Structure 1
Amino acid sequence: MKTVFQYLKPYLPRMTVGLVIKFIGTMMDLLLPWILSYMIDDVVPLRNKALIFLWGGAMLICSVVALLGNIIANRMASRVAQRTTQKLRHALFEKIAYLSCQQVDAFSIPSLESRLTTDTYNIHQMIGMMQRLGIRAPILLLGGIIMTLTLEPYLALVLIAMLPLMAFTIYAISKKGIPLYTRLQQGIDMMVRTVRENISGIRVIKALSKTEYEKERFDGVNAEVVARETKSGITMALSNPLMNLLLNLGLVLVIVVGAFRVNAGLTQPGKIIAFLTYFTIILNALLSISRMFMMYSKGSASAARISEVLTAKEDMALREKNRKEQDFHVVFDHVFFSYRKKKDNLTDISFRLKKGETLGIIGGTGSGKSTIAALLMRLYDPDSGEILISGRPVSAIPQEELHTMFGVVFQHDFLMADTIAANISFGRNLSMQEIQTACRQAQAKEFIEELPEKYEHMLTAKGTNLSGGQKQRVLVARALAGKPQILILDDSSSALDYRTDALLRRAVNEEFQKTTTIIIAQRISSIRHADHILVLENGCEIGYGTHEELMRQCELYREISISQMGGDEFAC
């Protein structure tokens, strides 16, 4: 809640004005029963029409002021809730964007999506309701009790006797409800994760005829969410019937006691009517407080989840280290790394690349090829060892500077639902000439210019209206368009035919001679001409050298080469 309050602070003056207006409107509501009681008991018996119209006019003015005050205050409350939630959502999105990959893995993407949507909505609802009812309900409750005490103290004591029971009911239900809402949000995280998996893999699911299986899996997750929502809903819904029971019990006692007092001439009918009106006001105020606590339970659970993200400490802070003078552009020096800190995913990896050299990395699935690229871009920090770029430890280079050095195509990269030109420019304000040059280098220009709208051709989300090879070429064009110092191609040619792959490599070699290139590949033809080739198995280096050296010295590399290229083991 402290984090949410920080985003409310700029709107405190506006909230204060709104609460003052709400206070005035609420006081007008409280005056109405008292004026009615006075008219019935004191004005009507005088049979003076002027006084009746006068006090009737006072009631009309009070009603209008109450109506306008509540409308104005509610609109101001809605505006504050909207703007606060807007800023909170933006801050949360920004924080998520700067979380390290390790932190994203810890929170999980479905959970972050849920916090950015469902949880911020709950905060919006809570802020709005707390402003609309947070001042009105307590004033109506306390004011109603005070007015009943001035009208008929004996009857008011009956009402006051019920209040401790009501307060305990609200407290007990709310205390149990907050943990249940936290579990509900966790269940929603699971459901979002299942939906994301199904949407991402919809083609595979259809191809393997697993729709029924996925329906059953979703049904299980959905049933769990429903069960948690039902439990939390039933728990919080107990407040209304219990409050009504206690208040109606009190109302019965008030009517019985009031009847005896009127019969004994100890009070007047107008006071009883006003008392019953105040009793109804108090009933509604308590029900409003009950609803507030329900919304507060949801909001506080959501606020805690949002605060976990907003207060997450930066784990990729700059580490001041001395620059080392050396001739190498990229250096891995005895690097060890583990994702879960149990078993090493990379073990003692070392290599050195001069500016303009190319490193090819090959190995089986899960051997750590993509992990090397992630460590070089400092998406993760190594457990031990050192990674240098131009003699500077990557941990000492600001993120903004570090990431502008790279052009990268990830193994599972994405394209936005936008034009081809916008996907290649990617917010870098590149000219059309630069975009076309990058597409030519990536061997994408030919197929793009055959499209009716050429570079303004709209892509669907993830580029599903392109073939696999076309998509990879657009992604490579995006990487090349920034004229990177270091180019990382992570399995970026797996969908390309051998001719296109060869043309792409030739274009990179000829036009990016000063760019250090790291090619992660599954096929020998993509890396055999690299200056250095690193062979990985289970995160360990089992071979390092040129193609010819590895064909003589590394059995695994030789087996892969012969199986893919056939013929003589030294064939080109």
Structure 2
Amino acid sequence: MLSLLRYMKPFRGAVLLVLLFTFLQTLSELFLPTLMADIVDKGVVTGDIALIWRVGGIMLAIAAGGVLCSIAASYLAARSAAGLGKILRQNVFSHVENFSLQEFDRIGTASLITRTTNDINQVQQVTIMILRMLVLAPLMCIGGILMAVSRDPGLTTVLLIVLPVLGLAIFLIASKGIPLFKKIQVKIDALGRVTREGLTGMRVIRSFNRVQYEENRFQEANEDLTQVSIRVNKIMGAMMPVMMLVMNMATIAIVWFGGARIQDGYLQVGDLMAFLQYAMMIMFSLIMLSVMFVMIPRAQASAVRINEVLQMQPDIEDPKTAAPAQKGKGRITFQDVTFYYPGAEAPALSNITFEANPGEVTAIIGGTGSGKSTLIHLIPRFYDVTSGTVSLDGVDVRQLTQEQLREAIGYVPQKALLFTGTIAENIRYGKEDATDEEVARAAEIAQADEFISAMEGGYEGLITQGGGNVSGGQKQRLSIARALVRRPEVYVFDDSFSALDFKTDARLRAALKQETTQSTVLIVAQRVSTVMEADRIIVLEEGQIAGIGKHQELMETSSVYREIVASQLSEEEIA
């Protein structure tokens, strides 16, 4: 928790003012019972009306000042805490954007969302309490004790008995509740994960009639969180009745013994009233501290989770001294590349060596799980190789900054992803300053212009969240247009034609061939028809190269390729 407070530096002035106003508020509250005692003992008892009006006016002025200080302190504390929350959210999001896929796999998307929202909100709320109560409660407690002793040292014996009882009750309740607060954050993670999977996978859930199953999963996670919340609220709910019981018992004891001391002449009525108020202040300050001690561990659990994200260093980092980028070429070279996924016993890729040159189409084909997408992910450094090198124009990609490297690549993912906004905005995601003509040209090459013109609004037509209002093939074509508009040196198509019909696929590949004559093109595909005309076909089997060559060469030399072809084409088409 303390490590996160370093982000409060921009609000140091406001924090100092909070402490000052809180201190003044505490002084005003501590001074009022003394003035009230003077009114009773020197005004009411003696009938001095002028003194009552004079001291009463001073009390009103001090009370008004205390209220103004309280309002100012609350406003500045809330503003500072909100600023802290804003900075933390920005820093967490910016840091997460630098993560490689390995860090996302390690923490999980649902947990990252919870940490960026719920956990930061917990820290923000507790920061307000700390700024207000951290000064207020101790000052009120210490000041109340000193003022109570100054009124009547003999009555403080009651406090010596009551305060340890109150402290013990607080300790017992907090020790039971604090561990449960930590569990709650984990349960929120689990509920967020189930909710996210249930909402994003709705088509699959309905297609397999698993709605009831998902409802049961959600109910189980929801019930789990509810039960833990009920348990902790039951425990914390017992705090206030116990506190009030102790305080009322203390009040009775003070009045009882105070009355006896008044009768014996050791104490005046006004002093007893003031002592009673100071006792209430002391006990209320302990209650405030107890609330803080309960809330801080919950925020601490959230702060640990936030710090875990902020302190996690990406496995993939930019070099301290980046190599100069070779603009305008785009040759990709794999040299004896082997890659293991974290924790895996067997390599996903073994001893991969090939070269993809500008002006050529290099296709990668193989069975499911053969390592096609893994190989493609090594080019933009979504993962780093375990051994060997991946080079761009003779420069190891690890010697380039990620921005330099990815600026040279137009990547179309296996699963087409669109963002909320217009069609033009989604295409311009590949090149922010693309002109209308460039956007239209990219869409035309991607065979997307026809369905775009048919949509309401054309290029200004809206895409809903996740591209829910367009088909899978339309999403793929818009993803391809997004890559084309940046005119990179290297095009990477990761099974990006799977949702297209054969006719559209053929037209798109013909248009791409004319557009990418100066670029390096790598295509991962399942269809033989997509790769047959490639300048180089790489056949993968179980993470190893089972053949490299053109279609006809592989038909003669690679049994794996022949099996793939035979499974998709008729004998007439093969001939």
After TM superposition, the structure 1 = structure 2 runs for residues 58-457 of structure 1, keeping only pairs within 5 Å, are: 58-171=58-171, 173-174=173-174, 177-319=177-319, 329-341=331-343, 342-426=345-429, 428-457=432-461
Q: How does the TM-score come out when normalised to structure 1? A: 0.95
Between the two proteins, what is the percent identity of the paired residues?
36
Asked if the contact 1:409/1:476 (under 8 Å) is kept, the reply is yes
Name the CA distance, whole Å, in 2 between partners of 1:339 and 1:235: 45
**Worse overlay, 154-163 or 404-413:** 154-163
What is the DSSP-based 3-state SS (H/G/I as helix, E as strand, rest coil) of the residue aligned with 2:317? coil
- Aligned residue for 1:542? 546
> Measured at CA, do residues 515 and 236 of structure 1 come closer, stay the same or move farther in structure 2, by a change above 3 Å?
farther
Q: CA deviation at 1:168?
A: 4.9
Q: CA deviation at 1:443?
A: 0.7
SS at match of 1:517: strand
What is the Cα-based RMSD across aligned positions, in Å? 2.1
Query: Structure 1 CA distance, aligned partners of 2:331 and 2:561?
Result: 26
Partners of 2:261 and 2:378 in 1: how far apart? Answer: 84
Q: Which runs of 4+ in 1 moved over 6 A?
A: 320-325
Contact 1:335 1:350 in 2 (8 A): yes
Aligned to 1:489: 493
Q: Give the conservation status (yes or no) of the 8 Å contact 2:528–2:568.
A: yes
Q: Assess, with a 3 A threshold, how the Cα gap between structure 1 residues 292 and 418 changes in structure 2: closer, same or farther.
A: same
Deviation at 1:569, TM superposition (A): 6.4
Q: 1:513 aligns with which of 492, 517, 520?
A: 517
Question: What is the one-letter code of the residue matched to 1:218?
Answer: F
1:332 partner letter: F
1:461 matches 2:468: no
- The answer as to whether partners of 2:338 and 2:385 remain within 8 angstroms in 1 is yes
1:527 aligned to 2:531? yes
Per the normalisation by structure 2, the TM-score is 0.94
Match of 1:499 among 499, 503, 518: 503
Report the alpha carbon displacement of residue 153 of structure 1 after superposing the two structures with TM: 1.2
For each residue in 1:178-197, what CA deviation from the matched residue of structure 2 results, as whole angstroms up to 9, or x when unmatched? 54333321221111111111
In structure 2, C-alpha distance between the alignment counterparts of 1:95 and 1:177, rounded to whole Å: 33
* TM-superposed deviation, 1:82: 1.0
1:413 Cα deviation after fit: 2.9
Q: Distance in 2 between matches of 1:561 and 1:322?
A: 42
Distance 1:473 1:516 in 2: 19
2:325 touches 2:404 (CA, 8 Å); kept in 1? Answer: no
Deviation for aligned residue 1:100: 1.6
One-letter identity of the residue aligned with 2:358? K
Question: Mean alpha-carbon deviation: is it higher for 522-531 or for 559-568?
Answer: 559-568
Instruction: State the AA in 1 paired with 2:532.
Output: R
2:6 maps to a residue whose letter is Q
Change beyond 3 A, Cα 1:60–1:278: same
Distance in 2 separating the partners of 1:461 and 1:101: 22
Name structure 1 gaps, 5 residues minimum. Answer: none
The count of aligned residue pairs is: 570
**Comparing 257-266 with 499-508, which one deviates more in the overlay?**
257-266
Deviations 1:125-176 (A, max 9, x none): 0111111222222222221111111111121232134334444554565566
Q: Distance in 2 between matches of 1:521 and 1:388?
A: 22
Matched AA of 2:20: V
> Aligned partners of 1:167 and 1:317: how far apart in 2?
51
More divergent stretch after superposition (40-49 vs 414-423):
40-49
